[in-house]
Amino acid sequence: MAAESRPPHWDAYAARWQLIGPPLRPCATDIEYLADSVARLRPQPQSALLLGVTPEIAEMPWGAGCQLVAVDKSEGMVRGVWPGDTPNRRALVADWLSLEVPEAPFDVVVGDGVFSILPFPEGYAQFAGALRALVKPGGLLSVRLFCRPETSESVDQVVEAALAGAIGNFNIFKWRLAMALQGDATRGVCLADIYRTFMQRTGGVAALASRTGWPAAIIGSIEGYRDIEERYSYSTEHEVADCLADRFELVETWRPSYELGERCPHLSFRRI
């Protein structure tokens, strides 16, 4: 299929949603922590904003009377991934950076991996500015990050670990490969480069499935990166905290214990 005839990246991502697993999507451990931390740090919220349409977060217990608004820029994600509107929740297609809804500002704002789809540093700074207006003073901002390690792995190290059976699933491999390609810099990594490197270093879907035992259908989800010039960025915790520091106080950091969990910390901020 010619690149120009393919659906936009996030519409294609929505079509492959069931092939995407932890840690790219939050698992039960993440949701258990998130629900507990919201209850502790912002008890009985009356309004909450979900950045994106992550169904696991949408369906977690929010407490009686809480109205949840979920916002995603991709109509395909809202149509294909959102678990459905109810009297207590609704989803809409809009841009986080210019969001105007009657519920704003919110008691709680939550996002899963949301910084990684933005360019560093300019996108982070714009996002921080938007969040100042979206979170009430004293309100809670809770984000799970995808962080690069302090010292980058090489692509060779990641591929060798996969072929040696030292990586638990393809989603973990894909994130480690992407972070290795970005390296220690903050310029991000092009999705097309992730796909090209995958093909060059593994021999393709069937070859990697044969060597690792990972399901070919899940490995094949990387086709969604082919010819896509969008970039992901993998920050450090400090880079995110620093961009928010003028209006948000970091009050809690939690790292899950699952594989790669040390690179997927949950950060909770209080709006000053």
In a domain, 4, yes or no: no
> Mean pLDDT by 10-residue block, N- to C-terminus, for the chain (272 residues)?
53 87 96 98 97 98 95 95 97 96 97 96 96 98 96 97 98 98 91 98 98 98 94 96 97 98 98 98
Same domain as 94, residue 42: yes
Same domain as 183, residue 60: no
In a domain, 1, yes or no: no
Query: Residue 10's pLDDT is what?
Result: 84
Return all residues near 40 (Cβ < 8 A) that are at least 6 apart.
Answer: none
**Which two structure tokens, joined as six digits, stand for 148?**
């690069």
Place of tokens 């912002």: 42
Same domain as 105, residue 195: no
Return all residues near 152 (Cβ < 8 A) that are at least 6 apart.
Answer: 179, 180, 182, 183, 184
Same domain as 110, residue 36: yes
Same domain as 97, residue 32: yes
Same domain as 241, residue 140: yes
Distance of alpha carbon 226 from alpha carbon 9, whole angstroms:
10
Contact 105, 76 (CB under 8 A): no
Distance of alpha carbon 268 from alpha carbon 37, whole angstroms:
8
Same domain as 132, residue 252: yes
Distance of alpha carbon 165 from alpha carbon 143, whole angstroms:
31
Same domain as 254, residue 199: no
In a domain, 106, yes or no: yes
Closest among 62, 64, 33, 30 to 48, alpha carbons compared: 62
In a domain, 3, yes or no: no
Same domain as 41, residue 116: yes
In a domain, 2, yes or no: no
Query: Residue 7's pLDDT is what?
Result: 58
In a domain, 162, yes or no: yes
Could you tell me how many residues make up the chain?
272
List the domain range (segments joined by +) for residue 171: 151-232
In a domain, 183, yes or no: yes
Distance of alpha carbon 185 from alpha carbon 233, whole angstroms:
9
Same domain as 186, residue 73: no
Query: Residue 130's pLDDT is what?
Result: 97
User: 36: domain CATH number?
Assistant: 3.40.50.150
CB atoms closer than 10 angstroms to residue 98: 8
Same domain as 156, residue 110: no
This prediction has a pTM of 0.94
Contact 161, 172 (CB under 8 A): no
How many domains are there within the chain?
Answer: 2
List residues bridging with 142 in a β-sheet.
Answer: 110, 268
Same domain as 135, residue 40: yes
DSSP 8-state class, residue 250:
E
In a domain, 171, yes or no: yes
